Amino acid sequence: MEKTKVFESPPPVPDSFSNTFSNTFASDQMTAHAEKLCRDAFGFENLHAYQKQVLSYLFSGKDCIAVLPTGSGKTLCYALPAMIRPGLVLVISPLIALIRDQIRRFEELDIPCAFFDSLQSSFEKDETWDRLSSGKVRILVISPERLARVDFRERLQSIPIQMVAVDEAHCISQWGSHFRPDYRFIGNYLQEFGPLQKLAVTATATSKVRSDIAQTLGLGAFEAVIGSITRENLALNFVKTSKVADQMNLMLQAVLASKGQGIVYAPTRGACRDLYRVLSDAGIATGMYHAGLNANMRNFAQKGFISGALRVIVATHAFGMGIDKRDIRFVHHFGLPASIESYVQEIGRAGRDGLAAKCWMIYGARDHHIRKFMLEKSYPEVKKLEAVLRTTRELVCNQHGVSETSVARNISATLGFENEMVASCLDILFREGLLERLTTGGFSQGDGGSIVTEGNASLDLPFFLNYPARVMEAESRIAAVRAFAALDGVQGQFLEQYFRAPIPPG
């Protein structure tokens, strides 16, 4: 049975409603009603100034990019329009964990919502379509991969949509540190629905990334709202050491001096293991999370941390997105983070309840070289990428697919590349869509259940043209982190300037 809340009727919607409110009076009316709804129905004391600004732009018919810190209420910026204006709000989110977390929040607020993901049964999906068709859903949350499906888009076109909200919008930009090619095509897919208002929300986006988001999504007359990047309740501290042993001991002392639960980020799996041993030997209930662990081990650590059974979780950047734990009291970094953007995203997970939290970065001279080494692994030489792409396509040409294990083995034998290099090249080519990885149960367990197909050859030219510039951009991000850590107590000012720089003309 539908669980819905009775909302007071909003101001009357003009007869000429077409997903925009160009009249300033209508915009003011809607914004005032949103603030009342926020208090009376959702129980929040009031809207923040930047939330009101975003809503004002949306209610006046403009597209908007909202760069707001983690835990600052970005969700209300599209939840309130969903409750006030007619039509569906379509939310695009990157991970199943995030999608289900957002749905949980909407349900807590009694907002009629729905979602599609790969874990649902056919019955659950049919039931969701029925609810959408009957107009009982105000917010639908999907992944960009779901939007990429032609059959899904064709069916969705029968549902009136008032606005599209792209969450974690920094994933759109190839100039960011969390680029996801699936996000790159969202703007193209949305063109099939005709004119739609768009809201892009993220916690981190430089001027270059904001410009890329606007161009890729095809934003019309848009406004950018940038909240305070540094939160007053986060105490930042930066310590440089000369010896690894000192760095490890200082991190132990930082954890011991920090109350409550927290996350310690490390750049490599090896550093995670070392920190795990040191903290565990000190009697601290510690978990570990990185991509080298199997899914069961990662889930066990994550559940232990969320439940409070573990005081600390030591992790690479693989941990954190989709974790909605508001009482994290510290987020420390052992070594330099991958980028300024990654650092802000990661410390943003601390103190989301508004209470004080600590964020220490303890780093040494060798950390810069570690990041440079990891960069070289992440961005192989162009000639090697081209050779792996050519060899793979020759192997899978005119076939329905070849197991990924067979492809990797053939490339190593043909080109003489090390297994790690082959895996790195294939990961990039899969990620960028130049090759396609399909999951199937048709192969043996050793094959990982994946087959490889030719991918989209039309993406080859733009990828290889942009590749050198993207390598240089990644190198500049590492240099920026190194300079940022060395600043003498003015890191907060640097962050505000780093993200608030205006979009350059043209």
Using an 8 Å Cβ cutoff, are 201 and 72 in contact? Answer: no
Tens digit of each residue's pLDDT (9 = 90 or more) over 105-157: 888 888 899 999 888 888 999 999 999 999 999 999 999 989 989 999 999 99
Rounded mean pLDDT of 75-89? 91
pLDDT computed for residue 65 by the predictor: 95
State whether residue 452 is helix, strand or coil.
strand
Phi and psi for 289 in degrees, rounded to 5? -145, 115
Contact 485, 429 (CB under 8 A): no
Confidence of residue 175 (pLDDT cuts 50, 70, 90): low
Q: What number is the average pLDDT over the span 372-395?
A: 91
Percentage of the chain beyond pLDDT 90 is: 47
Q: With DSSP H G I counted as helix, E B as strand and the rest as coil, what are the percentages for the chain, rounded to 5? A: 50, 15, 35
The residue to which tokens 């439940």 are assigned = 307
Please tell me whether residue 90 adopts helix, strand or coil conformation: strand
Which residue range(s) make up the domain with 150? Answer: 24-226
Q: Which residues contact 420 (CB under 8 A, 6 or more apart)?
A: 377
Same domain, 252 and 321: yes
Q: Decide if 29 contacts 84 (C-beta within 8 A).
A: no
> Are 211 and 239 found together in one domain?
no
Encoded tokens for 49: 């100034």
Phi, psi at 141, each rounded to 5°: -110, 130
Q: What does the pLDDT read at residue 446? A: 40
Compare 502 and 140 and report the one with higher pLDDT.
Answer: 140
Q: What pLDDT is stored for residue 103 in this prediction?
A: 85
Degrees to nearest 5, angle at CA 413 with 411 and 418: 75
Q: Given this model, what pLDDT does residue 262 score?
A: 97
211 in a structural domain: yes
Q: Are residues 78 and 200 in the same domain?
A: yes
Higher pLDDT, 22 or 355: 355
- pLDDT value for 30: 79
Mean pLDDT of 387-416: 91
Q: Is residue 19 part of a domain?
A: no
Amino acid at 348: G
User: Is the domain of 323 the same as that of 259?
Assistant: yes
Residue 185 lies in a domain: yes
Domain annotation covers residue 152: yes
From CA 53, how far away is CA 66, in angstroms rounded? Answer: 10
Q: Are 352 and 326 in contact (CB under 8 A)?
A: yes
pLDDT (mean) for 439-448: 46
Q: Are residues 75 and 178 in the same domain?
A: yes
Each residue's pLDDT tens digit, 286-316: 999 998 888 889 889 999 999 999 999 999 9
- Is 482 part of any domain? no
Q: Does residue 498 lie within any of the structural domains? A: no
What pLDDT does residue 214 have?
A: 93
When pLDDT is cut at 50, 70 and 90, the band that residue 504 belongs to is: low
386 and 361 together in one domain:
no
Asked if residue 394 and residue 327 are part of one domain, the reply reads no
Residues 407 and 452 in one domain: yes
The pLDDT of residue 316 is 92
Residue 486, domain member (yes or no): no
More confident residue, 49 or 334: 334
pLDDT of residue 213: 92
Do 164 and 274 share a domain, yes or no? no
404: amino acid identity, one letter? E
Residues 369 and 409 in one domain: no
Cβ-Cβ contacts under 8 Å for 383 (sequence gap 6 or more): none
Supply the mean pLDDT for the chain: 85
The CA distance from 108 to 89, in Å, is: 18
> Which residue, of 193, 226, 259, is where some domain finishes?
226
Q: Lowest-confidence range among 6-15, 204-213, 394-403, 462-471?
A: 6-15
- Per-residue model confidence (pLDDT) at position 7: 36
Amino acid at 457: A
Neighbouring CB atoms inside 10 A of 453's CB total 16
Mean pLDDT value of segment 499-503: 73
Length of the chain counted residue by residue: 506
Helix 366-378 vs helix 460-486: angle between axes, to the nearest 10 degrees? 170
What is the arithmetic mean of pLDDT over 447-460? 80
Q: What is the CA radius of gyration of the chain?
A: 24
CATH number at residue 55: 3.40.50.300
What is the model's pLDDT at position 400?
A: 77
pLDDT at position 218: 92
Say yes or no: 198 and 257 in one domain: no
pLDDT at 117: 84
Confidence (pLDDT) at 235? 94
What is the distance between the alpha carbons of residues 260 and 314, in angstroms, rounded to a whole number?
A: 15
Q: Which of 131-135, 178-182, 465-469 has the lowest mean pLDDT?
A: 178-182
What CATH number is associated with residue 396?
Answer: 1.10.10.10
Interatomic CA distance for residues 240 and 64, integer angstroms? 40
Residues 6 or more apart whose CB falls under 8 angstroms from that of 223 comprise 57, 62, 63, 64, 65
**pLDDT given for residue 176 in this prediction:** 62
Examine the fold and report which residue of 420, 437, 457 is the final residue of a domain before the chain moves on: 457
- The one-letter code for the residue type at 279 is L
User: Looking at the DSSP assignment, which residues form a beta bridge with residue 453?
Assistant: 436
pLDDT at 11 over 80: no
CB 80 within 8 A of CB 34: yes
**Axis-axis angle for helices 419-432, 404-415 (nearest 10):** 120
CB 162 within 8 A of CB 89: yes
Q: What are the pLDDT digits (tens) for 212-271?
A: 899 999 998 889 998 888 788 999 999 999 898 999 999 999 999 999 999 999 999 999
Domains held by the chain: number? 3
Per-residue pLDDT band at 473 (split at 50, 70, 90): confident
- Write the single-letter amino acid at 439: T
pLDDT for the residue 322: 62
- Residue 89 sits in the same domain as residue 114: yes
Kindly tell me if the per-residue pLDDT of 23 is higher than 60.
no
Domain's final residue, options 181, 207, 226: 226
| Helix or strand (DSSP H, E) at 136 | none
Mean pLDDT of 26-38: 77
In a domain, 254, yes or no: yes
